[in-house]
Amino acid sequence: MSDATPTGRLDTEGPKTSRPFHEESPASPAETVIDVDTRAQGTDISPDMFGVFFEDLNYAADGGLYAELVQNRSFEYGPADRPEWHALTAWEPLERDGAAGSLTISTDMPLHPANPHYAVVRTTATGAAGLGAGLRNEGFDGIAVRAGETYDVSLFARRADGAADLLVARIESRDGSRSHGQAELGPVHGSWQRHTAVITCEATDPDARLAVVASGTGTVHLDLVSLFPQATFRGRPGGLRADLAQTIADLKPKFVRFPGGCLAHGQGLGNMYRWPETVGPLHERRQQHNIWHYHQSMGLGYYEYFQFCEDIGAKPLPVVPAGVCCQNSDVTGQVGIPEEEMPDYVAEVLGLVEWANGPADSPWGALRAAAGHPDPFGLEYLGVGNEDTITDTFRDRFSRIHDALSEHHPEITVIGTLGPCPAGEDWEKGWAFARERGVPVVDEHSYKSPRWFLENTRRFDTMDREGPHLYIGEYGSWSNNGRSAIAEAAYMIAMERNGDVVRLASYAPLLAKRGRTQWLPDLIYFDNTHVWPTLNYHVQHMHSVNSGDTALPVTVTGAPQSPPAPRSPRHTVHLGTGSETHAEFTDVFLGPLDGEPVPAPDFGDWHAESGTWEPDGTGGVRQTAGGTDARLLLPYAADGPSYAFRVRARKTGGAEGFVLGFAGTSPGNRCQWTLGGWGNRSTWLQRVDDGVQDDLGDRVAEPVETGRWYDLRVEVDGRRIRCYRDGVLVHDVEDVRPDPEVFAVSAVRDSAAGDVIVKIANTTPEPVTVRLRLAGADADAGFARTTLTVAPDATSRFGPAPAAPVDDRLTGPVCDIPVHSFTVLRTLRGDGAARDAELPRSAGGAPPFHGAGHGRDVRHRIRVGSETADQGRTW
């Protein structure tokens, strides 16, 4: 990325050092002054900055946001989802009160070829109540129902033979002893027909079941068996779970990105998410396995995504595959759609725009209208690709799609991809390719430690204002604790200060279900009856509902600073193994870089922090436990800051490889070299801060062989780290990072409300007294204040968050900023409406967002502590 001189942003001048960030800080000055020039023209902020990203991960769709209560309703589960799954997973046969029969699966003359499996219920004898055989569904970890609420039950049925021409659907207790409500469906004829009824539930039961039984002897075929609460979000039949959808809506997101993520480009070409297969009647949508190892019913498809966006006032941001599957696809890796199929695929992408925006009498627009939405949805953004490796195949396929969109739909803003990380080879290639192709926006992903976010609040300041804008499509700081939440608040402040080039941002992942969580952290946790917003959610909400249209110049004087790092004279080292891995270690040596290494102390002097470690009988040690993160430590073993650490290691079995730790200065703070990690696919070097890992450089595709001895050597030379495997240099990294911004501030103008909004993230353990001076506004009138204060290690997941934002009013310009807090201050009086009357307005009343430069000069003075810098740029 090219350099430019920043404007309208808080920054410091001078070289950046690499002091580690710790919780301790020096005493703060008596008062910190924040000056905001509310009279300045300021810098336009993207009107679409803060949104949400939904991916069907952690059971976010089926069993989550999509309100269907029946699992495997179309009998399409199979080994592609999970090896142990089959077409009757989540179902069981019923033979009650003397009834007899069978339950099987058939594919002969199905309801629709897209979903070939259906259930065959055969009754050979009826029971005492005249009912025959049937089947019962367990739902997604049970079916939660409430007394007095109504539920739509529906199914497709066909009578094959006999007199079984009526079906009874019943919501019942888990053991089947109590009926909570039932309804009849039929009559059943000799061809497929859809039958519907309504059940009023008579009891509240978090773990109910749905049973369907025949009313006589004979054979009945069943498909798409469904149970839906009528109380869905906005009351839409077959819609979304109301409490989950409302929690998302309360964020007031400016956009919703969907359906992925890795889900979009899929596990191999056949698993790509193809949007045309997710619209139209439910029984005609092609279901498929989920890259996250469960199932997609496609009940939550493109029509439902677009409808949800419209319902909550958010712009849709769909992501289509860039003509390649995920580079991590088993067996194939990244491969492109075959040449002969690319014209049809490009037409498919163009068809999406017509489906979303075309008139109701256009070919694709007619399909949208038939679903009940004759008016266009108003699509503006389209993501092409997700975290793709920037290969020649990717470049070719992406270019064809991008060029076709540019030619036929120049009104669409195409969003490209920068790979999986905010640095490294793919990131650099992605930027170069985006500039070459003229891609207007690129998607960057940042799953990093809280410290990384604080160290990188200034990274947007020097972005090329003329180059592609940035969409931070996925970011999160690896925890749902207070430290992560406040660090994310500071990073979002940095985005806002650079809202002319950071165009969109969305935390990820959004949803995670109890007992089905595959990725941590997440923004909202839930089970069948509860929804738990996290501390991170509160930060997102505080930012989103307090968005502005203009970033104002800010001067901060006397802000608390990151303290100098204490220097440890000696470093801890450790040996470890990866997930479910056994290994042996021997011949450990430590010593100076320029001298002879000496044997490390006997393993009896090491500390087994985790795992099962035992002597091998020859002076070595072996680790024999399963699980993850086995570590054997030698505290303060190496003289810092320069030394060599050497060991011989052999994997004896398991899924991964070795983990060598070094440069350990305190618990949870070290560097580590992982060999054969990520399912024994890659080798990489990391720094660990407060127990959270961050990669140092690119990952190398090198596995670890079972039974082979490896000579491993690590050289620590101050900030420079070299790692050798069998004498071959694998990593050579200099770990130099900027100082963290531990006290972050932004100020924005909300022209529509006539308000000025000041946001302050204080990540230090010291309270700060702030005096606000708003040039051009009356700060003495006070502010509406929202404050989130939380201990760094306080965690929120499956339960109420340990802290929530508190609203009050601040009288006068002096504000006490608590420790570890995020504060939003909004001017109480609407002086801004008259003050900003001369500023240019768009049709909506706010200053227009122009994106790249539009010819004005903004200059401001920045003071942080004793540092001062004049910075300006014409744009």
Residue 365 phi, psi dihedral angles, 5° rounding:
-60, -30
Please say whether the beta carbons of 394 and 384 come within 8 A.
Answer: no
Q: Could you tell me which residues are beta bridge partners of residue 642?
A: 717
Q: Could you tell me which residues are beta bridge partners of residue 102?
A: 122
Please say whether the beta carbons of 16 and 737 come within 8 A.
Answer: yes
Distance CA 295, CA 140 (A): 12
Residues 6+ apart with CB under 8 A from 407: none
Fill in the DSSP letter of residue 234: G
Cα separation values, 253 from 241, 247, 507, Å:
18, 11, 11
Candidates 87, 177, 172, 102; CA nearest to 135 is: 102
Structure tokens at 739: 């100082």
Identified catalytic residue from 76, 387, 444, 741: 387
Residue 799 phi, psi dihedral angles, 5° rounding:
165, 170
Residue 387 among the catalytic residues? yes
404 by Cβ neighbours in 10 Å (0-12 / 13-18 / 19+) ranks as middle
What is the radius of gyration, based on Cα positions, of the chain?
Answer: 30
Structure tokens at 571: 């470093």
Candidates 449, 487, 536; CA nearest to 763 is: 487
Cα separation values, 330 from 335, 655, 656, Å:
11, 15, 16
3-state SS of 467-521? CCEEEEEEEECCCCEHHHHHHHHHHHHHHHHCCCCEEEEEECCCEEECCCCCCCC
Fill in the DSSP letter of residue 386: S
Distance CA 336, CA 314 (A): 32
3-state helix, strand, coil in the chain (%, to 5): 15, 40, 45
Distance CA 295, CA 61 (A): 10
CA atoms within a 13 Å half-sphere pointing along the CA-CB vector of 811:
0
Concatenating the DSSP letter of every residue in 822-847 gives EEEEEESS-HHHHHTTTS---TTSSP
Count CB atoms within 10 A of the CB of residue 376.
17
Residues 6+ apart with CB under 8 A from 423: none
Count CB atoms within 10 A of the CB of residue 622.
18
3-state SS of 563-611? CCCCCCCEEEEEEEECCCEEEEEEEEEEECCCCCCEECCCHHHCEEEEC
Distance CA 260, CA 248 (A): 17
Structure tokens at 228: 């839906």
User: Residues with catalytic annotation?
Assistant: 387
